[in-house]
A = this chain, B = another copy of it.
Amino acid sequence: MGWGAALSLIRAGFPTHGVDLRPDVLTRFTAAGGLAHQTPAPAVAGAAAVLVFVVNAGQAEAVLFGPAGAVAAADPGTLFILSVTMAPTAAVALAARLVQAGMLSLDAPVSGGAAKALAGEMTVMASGTAAAFAAAEPVLAAVATKVFHLGDRPGPASQVKMINQLLAGVHIAAMGEAMSLAAGIGLDLATVHQVITASAGNSWMFENRGAHVVAGDYAPRSAVDIFVKDLGIVAGEAAAAGMPSPLTTTALALFQQAADAGMGRQDDAAVALLLARQGGIRLPGDAE
């Protein structure tokens, strides 16, 4: 998602600095017209806005406040757009530290997938002060086609994103349960996919990830490990709020079992392989 956002900014005419640990990514970024760095500090001096696309709260804290981190090197009043899927409590805490450091902060998790990001067509769930929204406007216009304004402070955006991840994760696991059962009772998976996508049992994830199962293709677009993380966040925040989360907990256990079985870096649709194996059958593309 970060790569797509960076290319969208270059395309929109912004002088764009990019930070990544992988030399090959930096080489490609330079070739695409960007300014490449291996640590955040040199990239942010003089920048009007800093977009953070990392995988979890720990990484976000590291790139913001760790050694050669962004905040110490940024001009006062720089806008930080945090497009990280993390616990809402973590998003609120990081935003508070940014404000304390004299920065603007926008809680701004994204969705839409890598292809949409490359096209500058991400969906952004955003919350923050009017000043943060005003500063973010030209940047968001370059990277997103849909921006939801979810509140005047950091937190609600990450909360809504968390609800989205709850549903996405449970729906992927349900797809795996449906497809493995369909195979177990002798149905043709392509036919099942075709009928369900035209019926009331459909979901965005059944349609998208079910196609991976039909094709037997588990090259990771989004990996099992991501949902171990995201549903772990949901379960933790639900417990903290005193709310039940039985389906989240059940789906989380399946993703954890898949990771334990060595499928953590495979596509999250691999939860279907796990369930099929538990039933004593193999789905197409199950290499082991």
Contact = CB atoms under 8 A, between A and B. Distances in A.
A199 B148 CA distance: 11
A178 B195 contact: no
B160 A187 contact: yes
Contact of A164 (B170, B199, B278, B281): B199
Nearest to A197: B204
A58 B160 CA distance: 44
A57 to B, nearest CB: 17
Contact of A246 (B177, B184, B238): B177
A242 interface: yes
B200 A148 contact: no
A251 B178 CA distance: 14
A279 interface: yes
Contact of A244 (B174, B186, B245, B279): B279
A158 to B, nearest CB: 10
A273 B182 CA distance: 31
A201 interface: yes
Interface in A240-283: 241-248, 250-251, 253-254, 275, 278-281
Contacts of A48: none
Contacts of A242: 184, 279-280
Nearest to A276: B243
Given A177-B248, A238-B181, A248-B177, A275 B167 contact: no
Given A170-B174, A171-B174, 20 more contacts: A88-B185, A113-B200, A123-B199, A148-B191, A159-B185, A159-B186, A160-B182, A160-B192, A163-B181, A165-B201, A166-B177, A166-B178, A168-B200, A177-B246, A177-B248, A181-B234, A185-B237, A243-B275, A243-B281, A250-B250
